[in-house]
Amino acid sequence: MVAGTSGRKAKVTALAGCLRAAEPEEAATVVAYLSGELPQRQIGVGYAALREPPPPAAEPSLTVPEVDAAFTEIGAVSGAGSVARRRELVAAVLGRATRPEQDFLVRLLAGELRQGALDGVMAEAIAAAADVPAAAVRRAVMLRGALGPVATAALAEGARGLDAFTLEVGRPIKPMLAAAAPSMDEAFAKLGAGPETEVAVEWKLDGIRAQVHVSGGEVRVFTRTLDDITVRLPEVVEAVRGLPVRDAVFDGELIALRPDGRPHPFQVTSARTATRTTKTAEPVPLSVFLFDVLHLDGADLLDAPGAERDAALAGVVPAELRMPRVVTGDAARAKEVFDESVARGHEGVVVKSLDTPYTAGRRGAGWVKVKPRHTLDLVVLAVEWGHGRRRGLLSNLHLGARDPETGGFVMLGKTFKGLTDELLAWQTRRFRELAVREDEWTVHVRPELVVEIAFDGVQHSPRYPGGIALRFARVLRYRPDKSAAEADTIDTVRAVAPVLD
DNA sequence: TTCCGACAGTGGGGTCGCAAT
DNA sequence: ATTGCGACCCCACTATCGGAA
């Protein structure tokens, strides 16, 4: 029903009907499932555990609370034999489901529900079902970090129930995200910036986003997906603990820096953040750069304009713990900041409106990131069949650079990005003509077609034969004017974007 | 009537921890 | 010891809907 229509209003109507029909105690679970999430967040079941579902039941008998209880039990399984035990429990649930129920549950557990109803549409549906303003629902979701509890409150108590969701120090909220622009001029245009309207131009570091809560001297650190990673980061806790605040919520970035202040590759920061144990004697320390404050000693600042939040930040955080930032209305000055950030090895800048409040969880137009862009002409070595709306189309390109030593090609990664429907149709036809070998997923082709690829940088790769891979590769256009012999070489790739060490 | 902001979809590379092989 | 899997870090881009202009 929901997947069957492309219209958002129709989806909202259908979803709201489901919510009204649900028992009050089921509402949170129903909302989670319909938006493709589990209240448990994760239960250790993925694609591999779902490959061979048991025969479906003839008659429906499963209830939502039963499924929820089963998922909780599956999520609690651990230790030796846990993989087999989880699969056993998954099979038991699926065996009680009818064919359509099985199909839904498999897609839900695999994270492939894809029915066009994630947080945004579901928030509208909750608002419709509970007859409350959609903006109030969205705000509650941002503050609570989950749809389910918000749905329960809205359905039971209406708008009054939503008022109970406030910023609580110690509970993470969804972080504000940035839109992207290809150049400083376009970033300025998006924000309406100019001599009359200044903006903040902040360095963008290639690290891990962090929301740092201080509550009476106790510090907690949360990731973008609201996971608590405090215990992994003692040096971050130590750095923030010294600030002259009683209660505060900060937003910032964590990054591993070398002694000269230049950044380590992202992989170093990522590994450091993901490591739970102290297995190495001297882990690479992470540096903290705070760029926003959402609460300060009793005062919520979410709705305060950017300039006011920055003033509050500067009042309690010393410059060495703040993200470098320049306020200007001059695009040329902004470009200088961008150039300096890049020259020091960083990703680029984020241009921020001085007026907008902190719009958590939405890719609001208040922040716009600008990064440099590299390009290469590479050769397509193979193509993979697409899924979902790209089913039946050759979608994901295997990209290779010329290897002058062997006369062959070195694969540097894949991309499916940047392709229009028209281009997808064209390349599906074209690659069939060039096909030399085909398996279930992949069509291998004669290496003749040259494609211009944009990418952010080059990183060490344990996967690809050249030992390097492109980061965030996307298609700009095909180059019918170039032959494979004129494509860029592996040496050019290394020169264009050196791998940092 | 046209324009544009918000949203969902389609996957990319990488790391770690754990259980199975 | 190595491999497979699940969970999360980082992410760009296009199509579409529906309200704003």
Q: How far is the CA of A115 from the C1' of B3 (A)?
A: 27
CA distance A321 to A241: 12
> Is A2 part of any domain?
no
Beta-carbon neighbour count of residue A140 at 10 Å?
A: 26
For A182-221, what is each residue's pLDDT tens digit?
Answer: 899 989 988 989 998 999 999 999 999 999 999 998 999 9
* Catalytic residue set of A: 204
Q: What are the backbone angles phi and psi of residue A268, rounded to the nearest 5°?
A: -70, -45
With CA of A397 and C1' of each nucleotide, the nearest comes out as B12
If asked whether residues A406 and A364 sit together in one domain, one would say no
Q: Which residue is nearest to nucleotide C4 (CA to C1')?
A: A48
pLDDT(A363) > 60 = no
> Is A170 part of any domain?
no
If asked whether residues A155 and A278 sit together in one domain, one would say no
Q: Within 7 A of a protein CB, which nucleotides of strand B?
A: 5-20
Give me the percent of chain A exceeding a pLDDT of 90: 84
- Region for A346 from its dihedrals, namely left if φ exceeds 0, alpha if ψ lies in -120 to 50, beta otherwise: beta
Q: How many domains does chain A have?
A: 3
If asked whether residues A327 and A476 sit together in one domain, one would say no
> Is A15 part of any domain?
yes
Q: How far is the CA of A397 from the C1' of B4 (A)?
A: 31
If asked whether residues A413 and A495 sit together in one domain, one would say yes
For A258-279, what is each residue's pLDDT tens digit?
Answer: 999 999 999 999 999 998 876 5
If asked whether residues A356 and A417 sit together in one domain, one would say no
pLDDT-derived band at A361, boundaries 50, 70, 90: low
pLDDT-derived band at A90, boundaries 50, 70, 90: very high
CA A128 vs. chain centroid, Å, equals 28
Which of A346, A370, A394 finishes a domain?
A: A370
A17 CB and strand B closer than 7 A = no
If asked whether residues A89 and A114 sit together in one domain, one would say yes
**Burial class of residue A52 (count of CB atoms within 10 Å of its CB; 0-12, 13-18, 19+):** exposed
Task: Write the DSSP symbol of residue A298.
Answer: T
> Is A169 part of any domain?
no
A118 CB and strand B closer than 7 A = yes
A223 CB and strand B closer than 7 A = no
Q: Within 7 A of a protein CB, which nucleotides of strand C?
A: 4-19
If asked whether residues A335 and A390 sit together in one domain, one would say no
**What CATH number does residue A248 fall under?**
3.30.470.30
pLDDT(A501) > 70 = no
Which of A370, A390, A420 finishes a domain?
A: A370
If asked whether residues A144 and A291 sit together in one domain, one would say no
**What CATH number does residue A488 fall under?**
2.40.50.140
For A387-422, what is each residue's pLDDT tens digit?
Answer: 998 999 999 999 999 999 999 999 999 999 999 999
If asked whether residues A479 and A332 sit together in one domain, one would say no
A47 CB and strand C closer than 7 A = yes
With CA of A366 and C1' of each nucleotide, the nearest comes out as B5
CA distance A262 to A329: 28
Helices A27-34 and A119-130 sit at what angle, rounded to 10 degrees? 150
Q: How far is the CA of A388 from the C1' of B9 (A)?
A: 8
The residues of A between 302 and 341 with beta carbon within 7 Å of nucleic strand B are none
**What CATH number does residue A58 fall under?**
1.10.3260.10
Pairing status of strand A450-455 against strand A474-478: antiparallel
DSSP element (H, E) containing A264: none
CA distance A287 to A198: 29
Q: Which residue is nearest to nucleotide C5 (CA to C1')?
A: A48
If asked whether residues A120 and A183 sit together in one domain, one would say no
pTM: 0.94
> Is A135 part of any domain?
yes
The residues of A between 288 and 347 with beta carbon within 7 Å of nucleic strand C are 347
A107 CB and strand B closer than 7 A = no
Mean pLDDT along residues A475-482? 96
The residues of A between 404 and 463 with beta carbon within 7 Å of nucleic strand C are 417-422, 454, 456
Q: Is A16 helix (H, G, I), strand (E, B) or coil?
A: helix
> Is A171 part of any domain?
no
> Is A69 part of any domain?
yes
> Is A68 part of any domain?
yes
If asked whether residues A378 and A361 sit together in one domain, one would say no
If asked whether residues A78 and A103 sit together in one domain, one would say yes
The range of the structural domain enclosing residue A243 comes to 177-370
Pairing status of strand A179-181 against strand A367-370: parallel
Which of A352, A370, A388 finishes a domain?
A: A370
Q: Which residue is nearest to nucleotide B11 (CA to C1')?
A: A416
Cα dihedral A351, A355, A358, A359 sign: negative
